[in-house]
């Protein structure tokens, strides 16, 4: 077994996962907060105003990173759901289920900020074009996964049922991403492109990328924190969980 698989196996064991994420958590939250603060300051105060929209464009510094995170969270959830369904790895079940509320939050923020921007710029809060509709479907998929997971009593069965929904819903992700190029939509096309030049000035691109980094780190910090709680709930009777409980109790005395 090479080091990578070994590390993977170790990370997949509940006690190790719990210990590693406990060590990582404060650093991740701290880094996300500081980078996010720097990005917000850069985006809102330092970056120049747009030639058409002047200051109103600054909402993209929230809207775009959140939109990316919504899709990223969904892919992360679906990959973990896949592993959970095939290999029945406990950590994957938990990671898939805990990323759903975080992804739902990012998607809701995307829809809200897009709507606030859409009213003055497009002239409407909402329109049923392909991008907006598929993004709304993404939110409903997240909510469906959360709902299904909480509707079934047995935690592991619930995770498997919800993982199935999460996995099937992955077909919506390419639709969200490519909707603006497949159909005539009111929503504009992609500004930041991996292939070819981006259609944004570099003075505006950097704070955007910084905020994207911050939201990614925040996502993992948040998912890990939720996963640790879920893990303790699930493994409450196990020896390692009892050891941790006892250790924290002693620490409080």
In the complex, the smallest distance separating the C-beta of residue 183 from another protein, rounded to whole angstroms, is 5
User: If binding is defined by CB under 8 A, does position 158 make contact with another protein?
Assistant: no
In angstroms, the CA 200 to CA 197 distance is: 9
Tell me the two tokens of residue 231.
């893990």
In angstroms, the CA 160 to CA 181 distance is: 34
User: If binding is defined by CB under 8 A, does position 48 make contact with another protein?
Assistant: yes
> Is-contact 172 70, C-beta < 8 A?
no
User: If binding is defined by CB under 8 A, does position 27 make contact with another protein?
Assistant: no
User: If binding is defined by CB under 8 A, does position 86 make contact with another protein?
Assistant: yes
In angstroms, the CA 198 to CA 202 distance is: 9
How would DSSP label each residue in 151-186? Answer: HSSSHHHHHHHHHHHHHHGGGHHHHHHHHHHHS--S
User: If binding is defined by CB under 8 A, does position 125 make contact with another protein?
Assistant: no
Three-class secondary structure of residue 49 per DSSP: coil
Burial group, residue 29, by CB count within 10 angstroms (0-12, 13-18, 19+): middle
User: If binding is defined by CB under 8 A, does position 121 make contact with another protein?
Assistant: yes
In the complex, the smallest distance separating the C-beta of residue 127 from another protein, rounded to whole angstroms, is 7
Three-class secondary structure of residue 114 per DSSP: helix
Determine the size of the site formed for another protein (CB under 8 A). Answer: 41
- Among residues 147, 132, 192, 142, the alpha carbon closest in space to that of 170 is found at 142
How would DSSP label each residue in 33-44? Answer: HHHHHHHHHIII
User: If binding is defined by CB under 8 A, does position 176 make contact with another protein?
Assistant: no
- Among residues 133, 139, 113, the alpha carbon closest in space to that of 57 is found at 113
Pick the closer one to another protein by CB: 45 or 51.
Answer: 51
In angstroms, the CA 85 to CA 233 distance is: 21
User: If binding is defined by CB under 8 A, does position 115 make contact with another protein?
Assistant: no
Contact with another protein (CB under 8 A): which of 20, 27, 54, 229?
A: 54
Tell me the two tokens of residue 208.
């955007």
In the complex, the smallest distance separating the C-beta of residue 227 from another protein, rounded to whole angstroms, is 22
Q: Restricting to residues 62-81, which ones interact with another protein according to CB under 8 A?
A: none
Contact with another protein (CB under 8 A): which of 175, 213, 225, 232?
A: 175
Stretch that binds another protein, among 97-105, 163-171, 209-217, 220-228 (CB under 8 A): 163-171
In the complex, the smallest distance separating the C-beta of residue 122 from another protein, rounded to whole angstroms, is 5
Phi, psi of 200, rounded to the nearest 5 degrees: -140, 140
User: If binding is defined by CB under 8 A, does position 20 make contact with another protein?
Assistant: no
User: If binding is defined by CB under 8 A, does position 123 make contact with another protein?
Assistant: yes
User: If binding is defined by CB under 8 A, does position 46 make contact with another protein?
Assistant: no
Q: Restricting to residues 179-198, which ones interact with another protein according to CB under 8 A?
A: 182-186, 188-191
Site residues for another protein per CB under 8 A: 48-54, 56-57, 60, 82, 85-87, 120-124, 127, 129-130, 167-168, 170-171, 175, 182-186, 188-191, 199-201, 203-204
């Amino acid at each position: 077994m090479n080091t990578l698989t070994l590390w993977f196996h170790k990370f997949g064991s509940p006690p190790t996962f719990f210990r590693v994420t406990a060590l990582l958590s404060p650093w991740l939250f701290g880094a996300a907060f500081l980078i996010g603060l720097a990005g917000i300051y850069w985006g809102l105060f330092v970056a120049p105003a747009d030639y058409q929209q002047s200051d109103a464009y600054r909402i993209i510094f929230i809207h775009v990173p959140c939109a990316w995170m919504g899709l990223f969270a969904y892919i992360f959830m679906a990959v973990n759901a896949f592993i959970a369904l095939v290999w029945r790895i406990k950590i994957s079940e938990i990671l898939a289920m805990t990323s759903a509320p975080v992804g739902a939050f990012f998607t809701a923020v995307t829809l809200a900020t897009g709507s606030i921007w859409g009213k003055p710029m497009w002239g409407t809060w909402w329109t049923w074009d392909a991008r907006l509709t598929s993004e709304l479907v993404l939110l409903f998929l997240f909510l469906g996964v959360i709902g299904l997971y909480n509707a079934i009593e047995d935690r592991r069965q619930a995770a498997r049922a919800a993982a199935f929904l999460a996995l099937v819903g992955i077909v919506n992700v390419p639709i969200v991403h490519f909707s603006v190029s497949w159909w005539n939509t009111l929503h504009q096309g992609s500004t930041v492109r991996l292939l070819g030049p981006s259609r944004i000035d570099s003075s505006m691109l950097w704070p955007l990328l910084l905020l994207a980094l911050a939201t990614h780190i925040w996502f993992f910090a948040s998912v890990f924190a939720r996963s640790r709680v879920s893990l303790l709930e699930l493994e409450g009777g196990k020896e390692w969980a009892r050891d941790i409980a006892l250790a924290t109790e002693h620490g409080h005395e």
